[in-house]
Amino acid sequence: MSAAQKLYEGKAKILYTTEDPQILLTHFKDDATAFNAQKRGSIVGKGEINCAISSHLFQMLEAQGIPTHYLDRPSPNEMRVKNVKIVPLEVVVRNIAAGSLCQQTGLPLGKVLPQPLVEFYYKNDALGDPLLTRDRLLLMELATPAQVDQLQTMAQQINRILTDFFAQCGITLVDFKLEFGLDAQQTLLLADEISPDTCRLWNQADSDPDRRVMDKDRFRRDLGDVEGAYRQVLERVLAQPIQS
Ligand code: UDP
Distance CA 175, CA 114 (A): 14
Do residues 29 and 50 touch, judged by C-beta distance below 8 A? no
Tell me the pLDDT band of 2, cut-offs 50, 70 and 90.
low
Q: Is the CB of 99 within 6 Å of ligand 1?
A: yes
Distance CA 4, CA 212 (A): 41
Query: Separation of 242 CA from ligand 1 center, angstroms?
Result: 27
pLDDT digits (tens, 9 = 90+) for 64-80: 999 999 999 999 999 99
Per-residue pLDDT, averaged over 9-38, amounts to 96
Percent of the chain residues past pLDDT 70, beyond the cut: 99
Selected residue with higher pLDDT from 244 and 97: 97
Give the class (CATH, top level) of 6-82: alpha beta
- On the question of pLDDT at 244 being above 90, the answer is no
The atom of ligand 1 lying closest to the CA of 175 is: 15
Query: In this structure, which amino acid lies at residue 213?
Result: V
Q: Domain ranges in the chain?
A: 6-82, 85-225
Do residues 22 and 183 touch, judged by C-beta distance below 8 A? no
Distance CA 31, CA 205 (A): 29
Among protein residues, the one with the nearest Cα to ligand 1's atom 5 is 177
Do residues 169 and 237 touch, judged by C-beta distance below 8 A? yes
Q: Is the CB of 129 within 6 Å of ligand 1?
A: yes
The pTM score is 0.97
What CATH number should be reported for the domain whose range is 85-225?
A: 3.30.470.20
